[in-house]
Structure formats: structure tokens, C-alpha cells
């Protein structure tokens, strides 16, 4: 990676030549190759399309334009689609487009809007590559994106493979046979802005990129500018150099791990360096189609033969050579139809249900003591008027959805159990509280529902205490 500090290193007039040299140096595209250009309508992708279109006249590339409409900004999203379509027509390029309900996908899968958009977009781009008669997609990620990604992954506790960031070319996460190319990865955004201005390239601004409720935007608009100004003017160069080192270290570990497996003449897993042990387990999880997480890797590394439930119905264990094997899924547990109705019009009371004692108290939100949780009791507080005067206590049932506090949408309770690593057998013993309208406001051992939390308008507070009885 090259420096982005101390001003631009070259005249922006050389940008086209630099992109050409990058493509040539990394072998990103061959003469006459078909390539799908992912174009959102924003600055980065519109500049990428402009550059590749100019170079295609020399290298006879067969370009197609792919646009995925996320439908997240209403008429503005449709406007982006119209603009990109018009540009493709003016350039005489094939236009491929799809719309996707990102919010519904996020809700159904229990994931963030950003992750849902990424999944749907990559699936669409992989289909476009197949429809275009090739297996190559060009993306417009640039040097600033790398710096932002570094901190995103650092804050999430990524290892060397995650900290390494994006590469010039990588397999698609949706279809490994599709190659994703990033010809602009070494270029700072400022140079793209100047190129767009000098070449009169129209593009749209996405106002959501300014919203500071998104971590990436806070990194972009708050953290990075402050670090560049007060701590390290050459921050981007330092980050990119570190990412390059991390990438090579990660590749070295991968190669060493593969060599051990290829020459498996009785090597002892327990005698390997910890870094190689972790890399071996990580590779095995990926082989089984399981997303590796640090806690998973550490458990399997430290527990020979220990059984670990990694997702619904899938149990794995490690052998002496570090290989992972799967076990048959647990027997199907029947869903319980047991339930009981509580009358919360009575301001206080208690009931024993499903091996637990539930106590409640309805009082003015302006008074009363807020008890704290301990290991034996779960204390929760709800807006009493939202919960209502009649509720049902029951077990988890198929199709149940729940909106945990802090989340904008409901998720499947099944997915929430998996994400919180609650064992399958235990899920069927947990109690849920349901309003008269059938909405879950409480799940034993998990967060309360966003829709029933206390707020400044709350008049009466419902205090809820749950404790397990003997044998419960």
C-alpha cells in the first residue's frame, strides 16, 4: 500500500495509468475478459466504471453494469437505479439489476441491516457474473475503506486474517468460483473525488453515510480524522503496512497448517505452537462450513474429544491430530403446550410455573425500589400499561419472534438461542411471557423486549422477579 498522507503523491491525471498498472501488476484482468462492474451510483463505483470503460477500449474487456437496489431509501434508491441505468445505456453496456427487501432479510435472519444488505448484494453479483459469461466482479473499495475496516475488525476482536483486511482479489463469500477484484484498493478517496470533478462524473450522495449511529460512520467521521490530526498524520500508511504484514503472517500460518496435514506422519497436535493449533482448528471449522469464532476454536483446542454444539443440530469434537468430526444431531425435543394465564390487574402476586417461581409487583413508576440482579433471581422492569393486565406464561414454540431491547426489529427466537449459545435441550425449558395480543415481552435468561421497556412516559412499572425452584 502507498502513502495517503502529506498530500497526493502524484497528479490525479495519472490515476488512469495507475489503475492500469495495478490491474497488470496483480493480474486482475486478462485481455478480452468479461467483467461485471458493481455500480451503486455513488462516487467510488461511478469513478471505477469510468476508469474501466476507458481502459476496456485498449484491452477489449466485455463490461456489464450490475446495480442492486436495496430499497432502503425509498424514492432515492429508485433514483440511483435510474441514474446507473442511464449511464450504462450511454456507454453501451449491458445493465443488470435486482431489487431486494433488505429489512425483511435482516428480520428473518436476525442480523443487522448492513449484513443483510451485504448478503443479498453478493448473491446478486455472483448471479450476474454467471449471466455475463464470466466469473469476475469488480468492486470500488479504496484505501479509506481499508482504514475503516481495520478499526471495525479490531474492535470486534479479529485475528490476523481479519485484520489483514481486503485483498486485491478474493473469492466471493457467496460463490467461491466468482472472483472479486478491487482495482482502487490503493487509492485514497480524495483522488477519486478530484477525478470525478475533472471528468464531470455525476454521482449520488447517500445521506445514511453521515448517520453517526453506525459504527463505520463514527470511525470515518470522528475517530480517523482525530487520529490523523492529533496522533499520526501518516495513519493510513501505517495501517496499510500493518495490514499487509498481517496478511502475509496469516498466509504463512495457512501454508504451515496445510503442510502439516499433507505430511501427517503422526505429528502431535498438542505439541504444536498455539498459533498453529488455532489455525488447524480454524481450517477444520471452515472445511465443515462453520464460521470460526474464537471461543469455538479455544474450546476445541483445549478439550480433546470435548463435544461442542456449534449450531442447531450440529455437534463437533476434536481428535488427537486436530481433525474435527461431527456427531449425529440431538434427538428432537417435543415442544410443550403447557401454559398458564396471569391476571396482572392484581397489583402483586406470585405463581409457580415450569420449575420457576414468578413474582410481580405493579406500582407507580415514580416510587419504589429497583432491585438488582443476582445469581439466583432475575429482576426485570416493564412498562405495565404496555404489557397489559392479562398475560400468558408458556414455553418456546416454533415460529416465535422476539425484539430484544436495543434492536430495531424482531428476530426468530430460534436464532436468538443459537446466537447466545443456549444448548438445545435447555431452550425447551425456558419460560416466555406473552401479552394478550400474542407478543413476547420477556424470555427467561435473555433481554427484555424493546417495545416494553421503561421510558419517560411510563406511569406504572411492572417489576418481575424469576427464580428457579428446587429441581427446576
**pLDDT one-digit tens code per residue, 423-445:** 777 788 889 999 999 999 999 98
Give yes or no for residue 1 having a pLDDT over 50: no
- 259-305 pLDDT tens trace: 877 666 556 788 889 998 999 898 888 888 787 888 889 999 998 88
Q: Average of pLDDT values for 356-369? A: 79
Amino acid 113: pLDDT: 82
Neighbours of 89 (CB within 10 A): 12
What's the CA gap between 364 and 458, in Å, rounded? 9
**Lowest pLDDT segment from 111-125, 142-156, 249-263:** 249-263
What's the CA gap between 47 and 10, in Å, rounded? 18
Q: Residue 454: pLDDT band by 50, 70, 90 thresholds?
A: confident
Q: Residue 373: pLDDT band by 50, 70, 90 thresholds?
A: very low
- Three-state DSSP at 404 gives strand
- 83-138 pLDDT tens trace: 999 999 999 999 999 988 888 888 877 777 888 888 889 989 988 888 777 789 99
Q: Residue 31: pLDDT band by 50, 70, 90 thresholds?
A: very high
- Which has the closest alpha carbon to 34: 69, 59, 67? 59
What's the CA gap between 29 and 134, in Å, rounded? 11
- Three-state DSSP at 274 gives helix
Give yes or no for residue 52 having a pLDDT over 70: yes
Domains and CATH numbers, the chain: 12-237 (3.40.50.620), 267-330 (no CATH), 339-468 (3.50.40.10)
Amino acid 103: pLDDT: 86
Q: What one-character-per-residue DSSP string does 54-67 give? A: HHHHHHT-EEEEEE
What's the CA gap between 298 and 308, in Å, rounded? 11
Q: Which residues contact 38 (CB under 8 A, 6 or more apart)?
A: 45, 66, 67, 68, 121, 125, 137, 138, 139, 140
Beta bridge partners of 99: 69
Which of 78-87, 168-177, 200-209, 361-370 has the largest mean confidence?
78-87
Amino acid 332: pLDDT: 58
Amino acid 137: pLDDT: 95
What's the CA gap between 378 and 371, in Å, rounded? 10
Is residue 302 within 8 Å of residue 320, measured between CB atoms?
no
Give yes or no for residue 256 having a pLDDT over 70: yes
Give yes or no for residue 8 having a pLDDT over 60: no
Amino acid 212: pLDDT: 67
Place of cell 446507473: 84
Give yes or no for residue 3 having a pLDDT over 50: no
**Lowest pLDDT segment from 6-20, 237-251, 328-342:** 6-20
Q: Are strands 314-318 and 324-327 parallel, antiparallel or unpaired?
A: antiparallel
- Three-state DSSP at 239 gives helix
Is residue 196 within 8 Å of residue 203, measured between CB atoms?
yes
H or E stretch including 13?
A: none
Going from the C-alpha of 162 to that of each of 195, 233, 410, the distances in angstroms are: 31, 24, 29
pTM of the model: 0.61
Amino acid at each position: 500500500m502507498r502513502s495517503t498522507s502529506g498530500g497526493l503523491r502524484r497528479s490525479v491525471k495519472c490515476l488512469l495509468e495507475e489503475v492500469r498498472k495495478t490491474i497488470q501488476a496483480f493480474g486482475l484482468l486478462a485481455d478480452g475478459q468479461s467483467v461485471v462492474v458493481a455500480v451503486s451510483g455513488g462516487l467510488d463505483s461511478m469513478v471505477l466504471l469510468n476508469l474501466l470503460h476507458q481502459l476496456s477500449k485498449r484491452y477489449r474487456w466485455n463490461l456489464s453494469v450490475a446495480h442492486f437496489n436495496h430499497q432502503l431509501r425509498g424514492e432515492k434508491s429508485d433514483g440511483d437505479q435510474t441514474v446507473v441505468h442511464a449511464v450504462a445505456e450511454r456507454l453501451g453496456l449491458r445493465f443488470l439489476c435486482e431489487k431486494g427487501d433488505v429489512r425483511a432479510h435482516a428480520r428473518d435472519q436476525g442480523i443487522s441491516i448492513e449484513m443483510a444488505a451485504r448478503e443479498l448484494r453478493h448473491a446478486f453479483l455472483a448471479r450476474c457474473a454467471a449471466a455475463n459469461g464470466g466469473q469476475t466482479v469488480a468492486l470500488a473499495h479504496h484505501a479509506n475503506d481499508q482504514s475503516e475496516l481495520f478499526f471495525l475488525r479490531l474492535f470486534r476482536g479479529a485475528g490476523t486474517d481479519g485484520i489483514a483486511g481486503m485483498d486485491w482479489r478474493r473469492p466471493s463469500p457467496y460463490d467461491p468460483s466468482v472472483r472479486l477484484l478491487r482495482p482502487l484498493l490503493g487509492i485514497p478517496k480524495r483522488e477519486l473525488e478530484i477525478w470525478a470533478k475533472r471528468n464531470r462524473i455525476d454521482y449520488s450522495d447517500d445521506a445514511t453515510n453521515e448517520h453517526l449511529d453506525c459504527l463505520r460512520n463514527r470511525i470515518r467521521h470522528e475517530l480517523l480524522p482525530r487520529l490523523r490530526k492529533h496522533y499520526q498524520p501518516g495513519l493510513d500508511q501505517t495501517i496499510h503496512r500493518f495490514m499487509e504484514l498481517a496478511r502475509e503472517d496469516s498466509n504463512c500460518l495457512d501454508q504451515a497448517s496445510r503442510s502439516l496435514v499433507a505430511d501427517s506422519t503422526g505429528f502431535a497436535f498438542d505439541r504444536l505452537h498455539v498459533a498453529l493449533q488455532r489455525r488447524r482448528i480454524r481450517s477444520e471449522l471452515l472445511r465443515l462450513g462453520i464460521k470460526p469464532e474464537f471461543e469455538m476454536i479455544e474450546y476445541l483446542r483445549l478439550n480433546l474429544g470435548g463435544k461442542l454444539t456449534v449450531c442447531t443440530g450440529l455437534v463437533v469434537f476434536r481428535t488427537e491430530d486436530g481433525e474435527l468430526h461431527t456427531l449425529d444431531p440431538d434427538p428432537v425435543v417435543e415442544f410443550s403446550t403447557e401454559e398458564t394465564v396471569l391476571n396482572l390487574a392484581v397489583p402483586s402476586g406470585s405463581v409457580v410455573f415450569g420449575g420457576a417461581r414468578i413474582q410481580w409487583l405493579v406500582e407507580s413508576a415514580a416510587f419504589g425500589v429497583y432491585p438488582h440482579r443476582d445469581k439466583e433471581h432475575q429482576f426485570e422492569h416493564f412498562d405495565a400499561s404496555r404489557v397489559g393486565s392479562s398475560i400468558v406464561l408458556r414455553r418456546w414454540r416454533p415460529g416465535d419472534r422476539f425484539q430484544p431491547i436495543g434492536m430495531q426489529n424482531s428476530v426468530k427466537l430460534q436464532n436468538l438461542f443459537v446466537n447466545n449459545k443456549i444448548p438445545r435441550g435447555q431452550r425447551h425449558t425456558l419460560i416466555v411471557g406473552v401479552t394478550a395480543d400474542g407478543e413476547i415481552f420477556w424470555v427467561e435468561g435473555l433481554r427484555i423486549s424493546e417495545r416494553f421497556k421503561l421510558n419517560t412516559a411510563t406511569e406504572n412499572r411492572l417489576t418481575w422477579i424469576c427464580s428457579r425452584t428446587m429441581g427446576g
